[in-house]
Homo-oligomer: A and B are copies of this chain.
Amino acid sequence: MLNAVKREIPDYIEGYGEVRHFKGAYASLDNRKKVGVNGRTVKPSNKLQPGDSKMVQSIEEILEKVNFHDGMTVSFHHHLRNGDYVLNMVMKVIHDKGFKDIHLAATGVFACHEPIVEYIKDGTITCVSCNYMSPGPVAKAITQGYLKKPAVFRSHGGRPRAVESGDLHVDVAFIAAPSCDEYGNVNGTHGKSACGVLSYIYPDAYYADHVVAVTDNLVPFPNCPIEITQDLVDYVYVVDSIGDPNGIVSGTTRVTTDPIGLKIANSAAQLLDEAGYIEDGMSFQTGAGGTSLAVAAGVRERMIKKGVVGSFGAGGVTAYIVQMLEEGLFRAIFDVQDFDLRSVASAGTNPKHMAMSGSLYGNPHSCGPVVNKLSIMILGATEVDVDFNVNVVTGSDGTIMGASGGHNDTAAGSKISIVVSNLLKGRLCLVRDRVTTVTSPGETIDVLVTDRGIAINPRRTDLLEKLKDSKLPIMTIEELKKIGEKLAGIPDPVEYTDHIVGVVEYRDGTVIDVVYEPKK
């Protein structure tokens, strides 16, 4: 069937199942049920004998306790990013014990997870689902068709939606726990492997059949503060190290010094100002990239100049947003992950810097996620098409190199979503007739700001009207495309096999696109 972003999607995908077709960003927002949970009971002391202990001595012991078997789904979270040891540690044992047909439901997959390529190739892992997949060996192996079932790419809000609705049933959730006590109270902001808040795994902690905290920092009871509480955690496993500090957080994240990046950022900030979005109560989210942070810098300047106090900064938090909170430019931060040391410290100490679950962040089937209250969202893109559809899943050669993360959640929820990018990316024009893979539908993308010009989604007649006298280089997206193509030429189309290697779910659980294996 041709879906609402003009993609031909089969009704049934082998290894994925029945397809719910994408009908528009706001078309599947009816009431939904949250599924029941297989609760577990940990027994107290009866005064005479001790109560159940949660401490386990090995991953083997955990697998035995949960009656691990072929076909199970295990989940992990990616707050340790490219420094994570936990996923590899657990999957190695699962592999070595000979289990097969495992669904790896990680919130994110990084280059450091290279060892699982072998497990994909030998059938230990036959399905991978995630919200983010960094470029690297796993992404490459999946692109090349080694995974038996299609990978499923969700958004940061879509995954909790899937967990809560029962679409994604997790058998065993493994929580990388930078700080934990022997009864399973967990936080991510303290300890030698502190990584910040652990938001993406909160739903798994609630809904998984079994929950295991893996920690390298066992603290006296009670661990404090607590992000994931003891009443949800079955087992605590202590290891020497859960991650490599060098891979976990950047020491610092910095505003770009590249003049092109600064130009783009300044245009975006100026547009926001002219369009009236720099106002009391405004909220703001941006990524951790240098250009995105430069937009934050531009917004900050204008907030100070106007004496504006915003409501909240959200994210993916960086030192820059923390600074804006501390300067009083925002009343609060809503946080799902922390990118640098200052953010980690702030998340662990400042009560105005609030962790939010992945569900609170972006789950569309709730009484309103935080993205619904976002006024300004600054986004990236690998491709944008003339319908303003954005691709952040694949490169133009069809190689998997990302996933939505919060892209389509924030694009849908924000009052104004702006994609900032160089018009040329990897010697290709960013703007295409048709993006390789749709991640965020064009109806949720309002503006594209590039170094060569700015395009406003024609759907936003209000914005076009407000900016009609602007000196900003506003043009149509077709004009932008022409400029880019003139500079970079039009690439030859990539050819694909008919093997579906990835299914891209929109945040509401409908399929917005699929990824085919490129021909060799």
Contacts and interface: CB of A to CB of B under 8 A. Distances in A.
Given A183-B373, A224-B332, A224-B351, A31 B40 contact: yes
A224 B33 contact: no
Interface in A204-251: 211, 220-222, 224-226, 229-234
A226 B370 CA distance: 13
A41 B413 contact: no
A493 interface: no
B36 A32 contact: no
B231 A359 contact: yes
A192 to B, nearest CB: 20
A66 interface: no
Given A31-B41, A33-B36, A34-B36, 18 more contacts: A25-B46, A26-B44, A31-B39, A32-B41, A36-B36, A41-B366, A44-B412, A47-B415, A48-B460, A52-B368, A184-B368, A221-B311, A222-B332, A231-B363, A231-B367, A232-B366, A233-B367, A234-B367
A36 B354 CA distance: 27
A174 to B, nearest CB: 15
A477 interface: no
Nearest to A462: B48
A334 B232 CA distance: 16
Contacts of A356: 229
A312 interface: yes
Taken together, the copies of this chain in the complex come to 2
Contacts of A183: 368, 372-373
Contacts of A462: 48
Contact of A222 (B26, B221, B331): B331
15 contacts: A32-B39, A34-B39, A39-B164, A40-B366, A44-B371, A44-B413, A51-B368, A54-B368, A183-B368, A220-B331, A221-B311, A222-B332, A229-B356, A230-B370, A230-B373
A224 B232 CA distance: 25
Q: Which of A224, A360, A412 has the most CB of B within 10 A?
A: A224
A427 interface: no
B367 A211 contact: yes
Contact of A48 (B34, B233, B311, B459): B459
A193 interface: no
B231 A281 contact: no
Contacts of A460: 47-48
Tier of interface size on chain A = 35 or more
A312 B222 contact: yes
A224 B360 contact: no
B51 A372 contact: yes
Interface string A35-75: 11111111111111001101000000000000000000000
B39 A360 contact: no
A446 interface: yes
Interface string A338-364: 000000000001011010100110011
A453 interface: no
Contact of A26 (B31, B46, B369): B46
A29 interface: yes
A365 interface: yes
Contacts of A371: 44
A30 interface: yes
Contacts of A126: none
Contacts of A318: none
Contacts of A224: 331-332, 351-352, 354
A444 interface: yes
A33 B38 contact: yes
A332 B25 CA distance: 45
